[in-house]
Structure 1
Amino acid sequence: MPAYKIPESVLVVIYTPQLDVLLLERADKPGFWQSVTGSKDTPDEDVLETAIREVGEETGIDARQFSLHNWQTSNIYEIYPVWRHRYAPGVTHNTEHVFGLCVSSRLDVQLSPREHLQYQWLPWKEAADQCFSASNAEAILQLPDRI
């Protein structure tokens, strides 16, 4: 039996005090830019643990060294058909928990090459425009009101 992804994930908007936002380009979909995202590893993994783990895996940043906040916002969205094979048969929707991580400055990032091709820091409005995911863009657009 294949190990299916759990349809519960985190979205972590990483930003600086100047509201520069980190975006990552997906390796499996070049041209698709996003914030850190990732699913829970186990059903009982706390979403805060998921956020810390995913930030570390995807960027090399230790989120515990900075200001990580659960924005107490969840989005339920339809999983893109191109990625549905990763989930159990019949699973069509995912619940995404939104976090913000304020880092001190535009940090150098250590990408996971199997997940991302490159990264960029952009001013928040430009970052929102660059995102392929509507929920990711919306989270970034909320950033000035969240700090």
Structure 2
Amino acid sequence: MQTYKIPISVLVIIHTTDLQVLLLERADHPGYWQSVTGSQELNETLEQTAAREVKEETGLITDDYALSNWHIQNRYQLYEEWRWRYPPGVTHNTEHVFGLELPTTRPVVISTREHLSYSWVPWQEAIDKVFSPSNAQAIRILANRQKSAASSAEK
């Protein structure tokens, strides 16, 4: 019996204080780079989903760093090639954006079932490298959030 994904997911932008962004290359689609993503499981909060996906995809434990819910939702049409993972008739997903800040880059342990490799890249390069428009937009928001925080600290 097929178990379908819930059409609610998280996007977790893992980044350093100086805005290096962790990107993962998809195993099922070489050349497609992304941040950590994943679907919510039954009876899981969004925060639990984000923590689980980060651990599964990178080996990082979110309790060791600053995980924040950005309270941003993106609703988008599912790519045709991945719709079979969802219940029949489901065409859209709602994605919730989180950030995970680390003090510096560090090695991660990727899930080889899901990813081929990882790379830490400057935020400007990450925007151009990710395949998902919502992922690129979240990285732009990250840069703006950091600029706003720096500006507030100077006042």
Q: Normalising TM by the smaller chain, what interval?
A: over 0.9
Deviation at 1:144? 2.0
Normalising by structure 2, we get a TM-score of: 0.92
Q: Give 1:65's aligned amino acid.
A: D
Aligned to 1:14: 14
CA apart distance, 1:141: 0.9
AA matched with 1:31: G
* Alignment partner, residue 60 of structure 1: 59
Greater gyration radius: 2
* Larger fraction in helix: 2
TM superposition shift of 1:146: 2.0
1:142 partner SS: helix
Tell me the distance in 1 between the aligned counterparts of 2:62 and 2:126: 20
Alignment of 1:24-103 (within 5 A): 24-42=24-42, 44-103=43-102
- Residue in structure 1 matched with residue 139 of structure 2 by the alignment: 140
Distance 1:76 1:28 in 2: 23
Partner deviation per Cα, 1:12-39 (whole Å, 9 max, x = no partner):
0000011000000000000000000000
TM norm structure 1: 0.97
- Distance in 2, Cα, partners of 1:18 & 1:113: 28
Per-residue CA distance 1:99-142 (angstroms, 9 max, x = gap): 00001111101000000000000000100110000000000011
Residue correspondences, number: 146
Q: Which runs of 4+ in 1 moved over 4 A?
A: none
Write the distance in 1 (CA, Å) between the matches of 2:66 and 2:94: 23
SS of 1:11's equivalent in the other structure is: strand
The one-letter code matched in structure 1 to 2:13 is V
- CA displacement 1:59-112 (0-9 Å, x = unmatched): 000011100100000000000000000000000000000000001111101000
What's the counterpart of residue 3 of structure 1?
3
Counterpart in the other structure of 1:130: 129
Name stretches of at least 5 consecutive residues in structure 2 with no aligned partner: 147-155
Q: Secondary structure at the match of 2:29?
A: coil
> What SS class does the counterpart of residue 112 from structure 2 fall into?
coil
